[in-house]
Structure 1
Amino acid sequence: MLKLNKKGLLFMGSLVLSASLILSGCGGGNSSSPASQQKAGKQAQGVTDKEILIGNWATQSGSAALYGAIAKGIDAYFQYVNDQGGVNGRKLKLVTYDEEYQPSRAVAIAKKLIEEDKVFAIVGNDCTSCNKAALPQFKKSGIPVVGVSSGSDIFVNPVIPNIYGLLTNYGIEARIFVNYAVDELKGKRIGIFYQNDDFGKSGYEAAVDELKKKGMQPVAEVSYNSTDVDFSSPALKMKEANPDVILSFSITKPTAAYKKELSKVGVNVPFIVTSVAGADNNMFNLAGDSWKNVYSSSWVAMVGSGDPKVNKYVEALKKYGKDLNPSGPAQWGWAEAEVLVEAIRRCGNDLTWENLNKQLETFKDWNEGLAFNVSYGPDNHYGTTSVVMIKDQNGKMAPASDVIKYKAGK
């Protein structure tokens, strides 16, 4: 169970944690690496007869702080499982840190989780650039990283043996958006707003390519930096281009701020935003009355959809994460934890990294959790390539399509 401070946030004293991260980032660790231990066939680190230690980082501060609920959703699911006896008799324990949406900090945290905390696996890390920065460590150690909270191609194409995506790939999502904008919303002038980093460019580049296939090109391509707070100029640039649909590959707070500015300058055309912002009902609070005519996607069954699995999740969250919004990041964390726990369950008592990887690759359109059609294999670590399109309706996001399944590599 997570250690919480008085504000209900994560974890241990910040000065102690910062010092520890600095030291871990400078070297040290055991002479026998985790990878060499696995090759020797030993039971993996982080596993005892009674406990399995799982690692994570999640943004708890700054412009992306809403994503901190991912870790809380993961921990809520672990508590739920533990109260039912754990996994094959072992309880789950989460070790998580605030990486502040900073790649350099994520690198230090990755080293600490692997070499000092000695976790068995890592689950649900947010921030595309942060995961990219830590990727060399993940590859070198061989530790299973499950349900990366990023849909970037970097982690799944080509396949990396110990890295598993889950949420729908940003490029695939972007292609679905383009087709929906043109075929369903009859858009002819498409504007694109995107975050100027690995995350935003993943969706932007795929959208431009998909438009090209249709003989089209964006009428506007407007970028921003994750630290930006003034979006008046980007809104005016979009207005000048006169789009009839806007695609937005952006995170929560900047998306809300941009949508407010668009509304101020009279741009109220359909606004299709990536799921990491648009699937969170908290956007209605952040963007206020401007959060209208908004479309997004969801790779998990929607809260309020009537799905029995979702109803069960919502009821459980009232007990294990009572202060959490059941839609958005907390739900993503819960779904990511479900996949990891199912893979651990399939491992039985053979809790090695090799066997965990083997069991993950047995998933085929797995729908027992909240995520749609989870599939892995030797040539596929995407997780899910299925979404439902969603739209604002009476102050919440509601389904606007059936499940759309996109074939990876299409």
Structure 2
Amino acid sequence: MKRLFLSLLTLFGVALAQTPGVSDTEIRIGSFGPQSGPAAAWGTVMTAIGALFDHVNAQGGIHGRNLVLITRDDGYDPARSVAAVRELIDRERVFALVGGVGTANGLAVMPIVKREGIPWVSPSSGSSEFAAQSDGLIFATYTNYEVESALMTRYAVQDLESERIAIFYQNDGYGEEGLRGLEREVAALQEAGHDVTIVDRVSYERGETNMAVQALRLRGGEADTVVMYSTPGAAASLIAEFGRLEYTPRILASSTLLDPSLLANPGMQGALVATFMRLPSVIVGEGNGDPIADEVFNTIVVPYAPEAAQDPFRALAGVGFAQPLIVALEAAGPDLTREALLEALRGISGYDEGLFPNLDFTEGYQGNNSVMLLQMTPEGLRPASDYLTY
């Protein structure tokens, strides 16, 4: 009886010591985001993460373990995001999180992630708060909006000779980060001797649909360049009003405006839009695609998630968000623990084989600080700059 008791105690101790989400045969990874509701198109991100996992599993997995992606639909509602992540951690016992679409959604679940000590790779948002409040657990790969805005502003002044800049932005954390980046960079450029002025800061409220007042104000300020941090719908409304006013400023737009409906808008011809990752020929035209992005699209997205191939930007983003997780899982070795994964993530240095150029977490938790500018032309999107790095 004593021997049986000791055996049971040993087994119980092993069970307690076992890392959640890891067995001899699999690693369980969680993700959340909109698969229904008004932002359901962003569900492509999770579909593409699953495609990458299937590709890795087809090659033998990670140290003999298959990757299992467990997803939850939050309908783009932060309250549902919280419930989804609680379920992923408590019921599904995931080892780590990857992706997670939306700034408000991600910020809502951040306290849970930090309280439970869950590694979280690539929140799908450009908010600087994820890296700033990482607590060593959250690894951001999406170039944050403040850096993106600063880089676009620098390019506008130094390369396009813009002198009178205005910003059109959504009055929330997303838009305010774009505003901060613009203000910070203009101050630095003025200090360096450039003749540049912010002539106006024009905002709108989330849910507002008519941008006639904002368009009139921007035209009145006579800005030669307008930086945009808005939703695609608000941008389309503003562009329509610009057309009625016959106002044609140069437009530089956040990566959030790489939206198929907006790209097809004739009023956006000539506009420059930022991207934080390498793009394939299917997006930027034959012969213009990055070889790494072309390979990812053709060997991962098309064969493993053909439905996602119809939305190539979001599909590539999903793969890109998950690539550093794969790299770190390999580096963490067969004796996988959360601390081993975190150490491997912190060791990613100048990783240039994925969709994000020169990804690096050795000096902080914001791994990507680069953007490239694309121009909308009659033939489609075309590269307009090299990678700009902050």
After TM superposition, is the score higher than 0.5?
A: yes
Aligned counterparts of 2:237 and 2:40: Cα–Cα separation in 1: 15
Residues 42, 264 of structure 1: CA spacing in aligned structure 2 closer, same or farther, 3 A cutoff? farther
Q: Could you tell me which of 63, 67, 70 is aligned with 2:45?
A: 70
The equivalent of 2:215 in structure 1 is: 235
- CA–CA separation in structure 2 for the residues paired with 1:155 and 1:341: 20
Match of 1:329 in 2: 314
* Preserved contact between residue 64 and residue 252 of structure 1 (Cα < 8 Å): no
Q: Contact 1:42/1:352 (CA < 8 Å) preserved in 2?
A: no
Q: 1:148 aligns to what?
A: 123
The answer to whether residue 48 in structure 2 is matched with residue 48 in structure 1 is no
Runs of 4+ residues deviating >6 angstroms: none
Residue 390 in structure 1 maps to residue 374 in structure 2: yes
Displacement, 1:281?
Answer: 4.8
In 1, Cα distance between equivalents of 2:209 and 2:32 = 24
Secondary structure in 2 matching 1:243 = coil
User: Contact between 1:314 and 1:326, CA under 8 Å: does it hold in 2?
Assistant: no
- Closer/same/farther in 2, CA of residues 136 and 363 from structure 1, 3 Å limit: same
- Secondary structure of 1:253's counterpart equals helix
Q: Shift of the alpha carbon at 1:207?
A: 1.1
The residue that corresponds to 1:309 in the other structure is 292
* Distance in 2, Cα, partners of 1:217 & 1:107: 42
CA 1:246/1:64 → structure 2, altered by over 3 Å: closer, same or farther?
Answer: farther
Partners of 1:268 and 1:293 within 8 A in 2 = no
- The corresponding residue for 2:360 is 375
Return the offset for 1:384: 1.0
The one of 105, 111, 136 aligned to 1:136? 111
> Which protein has the bigger helix share?
2
> Cα 1:302–1:344, aligned 2, differ >3 Å: closer, same or farther?
same
Q: Which has the larger radius of gyration?
A: 2
Q: Deviations over 1:69-102 (max 9, x none)?
A: 2112211211222222222222222222232332
3-state SS of 1:402 partner: coil
Deviations 1:261-320 (A, max 9, x none): 333332332211111223x455324xx212212112222112123433222112132222
- 1:360 pairs, out of 336, 345, 349, with 345
Instruction: Report what 1:225 is aligned to.
Output: 205
SS at match of 1:238: helix
2:19 and 2:250 mapped to 1: Cα distance? Answer: 50
Scaled by the length of structure 1, what TM-score is found?
A: 0.83
| 1:402 matched residue in structure 2 | 386
What is the distance in 2 between the residues matched to 1:171 and 1:41?
43
Q: 1:382 to 1:241 in 2, by over 3 A?
A: same
CA drift at 1:151: 2.0
Q: SS where residue 343 of structure 2 aligns?
A: helix
Partner residue in 2 for 1:283: 262
Relative to structure 1, the CA distance from residue 345 to residue 397 in structure 2 (aligned partners, 3 Å threshold; closer, same or farther) is same
Shift of 1:137: 0.9
Q: Write the deviation string for residues 108-152 of structure 1: whole angstroms up to 9, x where unpaired.
A: 222122112211111111211111121111111110110111222
Report the alpha carbon displacement of residue 159 of structure 1 after superposing the two structures with TM. 4.6
Query: Does the CA-based 8 Å contact 1:281-1:397 persist in structure 2?
Result: no
In the alignment, which residue of structure 2 is the partner of 1:170?
A: 145
What is the aligned partner in structure 1 of residue 80 from structure 2?
105
Aligned length: 363
Relative to 1, partners in 2 of residues 1:104 and 1:182: Cα closer, same or farther, differing over 3 Å? same
| One-letter amino acid of the counterpart of residue 283, structure 1 | L
Are 1:268 and 2:248 an aligned pair?
yes
Identity within the alignment, %: 31
Residue 152 of structure 2 is aligned to residue 204 of structure 1: no
Q: Over residues 166-223 of structure 1, what are the superposed CA-to-partner deviations in whole Å (9 max), with x where a residue is unaligned? A: 0112111111011111111211111111122222211112212222333454222122
Read off the aligned partner of 1:294 and give its amino acid letter: A
Partner of residue 238, structure 2: 258
Q: 1:116 to 1:158 in 2, by over 3 A?
A: closer
Segments of structure 2 that go 5 or more residues without pairing to the other structure are 1-14, 191-195, 282-287
Q: Amino acid of the residue matched to residue 291 of structure 2?
A: P
Partner SS for 2:178:
helix
SS at match of 1:45: coil
